Amino acid sequence: MSTLPSTFTVNAIMREDSGGIVRGAVAGDARPWALRGRIGYEAFLRPEPEADLKNWRDPRVGWGLIVAETPGMNPVVLQTNADLPQPIRDLVTARNNAPVFRFRRDGSDPYNLLRDYRAGKDVTVSGSPRGTAPGAMPYYLLIYGAPAQVPWGLQYVLNNTHCVGRLDLEGDALQNYVAALMNNWAGSAAKNSNVVIWATDHSPADITHLMRDAVARPISEAMSHDTDLKTTYIAGQAATGAALIQGLAAQSPGLIVTTSHGMTGPLDTPLELTANLGLPVDSGFRKLDPAALLQAWNPAGAIWYSHACCSAGSDARSLFQGLLDPNSDPARVLNGVAASAGARVAPLPRTLLGAMQPARAFIGHIEPTFDWTLTQPLTGQYLTAPIRDALYNKLYNGFPLGHAFRDWFQRVGELSSLQLQRLQEYNAGGDVADQLLYYQLSSRDIGAMVIIGDPTVTLDLLH
């Protein structure tokens, strides 16, 4: 027996002066109506769901390549990418004939307009639609080439809005990395459930103490509570180069986190400085020996985060030139590294990513890091939660590496906006010079962190 009502009342009236209830009987047999499907025009009343930014294979998200354009080269060569090494061309083909953008140093706006020869147009970094369609800019971008060819400055700009990595390898090293990337590190020796964290601490007066407390320790504490992970934490005086090598050899970790000074000397021997550039310095002030490292440990499939000066490389002109007293030791280091090493990727990430069984990626700095960037000077609050979240919460939830660090790089925009506000106050006579210095310093320090390797790499959570 039906319990449904035989009449319905609706919230409508037929005339302004009717004042009555609009009520009517249900059709004698309303079953055909009740059995109808969804209304046919529903799909046209709303846009399609937004793309999942973790899925770089979605053409609405996309992956693309950025390379330098050689002036005077035949446009047909540029359109077909015939000037690129075969492994890079193979990677572009394998990724659904991904778009290739050319950095044109002599272009009208080289840090914002990149040439897409296949589409026959320049594409703007700022404001273009996302994806792989003609005229769009993919969310994930791999820069191929040395910083002398495609400047670090372009990577800094792109980091504000995109997920960006860099590959600076040639020959067998390039072939090794691209082959592993295309096979998603099949057979990798890395155990992604194993993590090694290594943090030097020379004294409470030294920045290594702050880096240990603000970067390494929070990551270690978060991971040590995760029963799915095995975290090895080596800190303080125990953080020797030998202990790091032993820990990596014993654990074969999928993730390595190190905080330390980075080697930037000897300043009076350019070749030696370049060979040492950015190497982690242990608790005994000894630089890590890459040869001993690779003799004991296979980097296959690992991701290494190194919070150290110049750990990812150097530039021909420091972002902090003019900040420091020219006679101070920090200024001598900055100027000496720029003069001796110039614009380059540091030797450790090149070695790791070019190994026969290469690492997935390396994250590090092009400049020194400053204590002001790690803490809020007025409150003492640590400002490094985005690093912890990237390396733990996001990376171990399947985020591609570039996307995992979005919150860190977005701080550059926030700090730049705060600097602009204080600049307006300063120009109006406000006493805010210290705050201007803080926001400028912090935004540049954060912006000088880079990813070496492809930004789409992930940790296989089942391995």
Given a contact cutoff of 8 angstroms between Cβ atoms, the answer to whether 169 and 146 are in contact is: no
The pLDDT tens digits of the residues spanning 370-428 come to 888 899 888 989 999 999 999 999 999 999 999 999 999 999 989 899 999 999 999 99
Average pLDDT over residues 6-13: 61
Every domain of the chain and the residues it spans: 63-168, 189-453
Cα separation, 29 vs 35, in Å, equals 11
Sorted by sequence, the CB contacts under 8 Å of residue 262 that are 6+ apart come out as 277, 278, 279, 280, 281, 306, 308, 309, 310, 311, 365, 368
Q: Which residue has the tokens 């090598």?
A: 245
Q: Could you name the CATH architecture of 189-453?
A: 3-Layer(aba) Sandwich (3.40)
* Residue-level pLDDT at 353: 98
DSSP secondary structure string for all residues of 16-55: TTT---EEEEPPTT-HHHHT--S-TTGGGGSPPPPP-TT-
Cα separation, 415 vs 342, in Å, equals 28
What is the percent of the chain where pLDDT is above 90?
73
Name the band, by pLDDT with cuts 50, 70 and 90, for residue 231: very high
| Lowest model confidence (mean pLDDT) among 141-150, 151-160, 168-177, 321-330 | 321-330
| C-alpha atoms less than 13 angstroms from C-alpha of 258 in its C-beta half-sphere | 33
The pLDDT tens digits of the residues spanning 250-261 come to 999 999 999 999
| Lowest model confidence (mean pLDDT) among 181-185, 284-288, 457-461 | 457-461
The pLDDT tens digits of the residues spanning 169-197 come to 999 999 999 999 999 999 888 999 999 99
Average pLDDT over residues 95-108: 94
Average pLDDT over residues 59-70: 96
Sorted by sequence, the CB contacts under 8 Å of residue 355 that are 6+ apart come out as 173, 176, 294, 298, 299, 300
* For residue 41, pLDDT beyond 50: no
| Lowest model confidence (mean pLDDT) among 47-51, 89-93, 97-101, 332-336 | 47-51
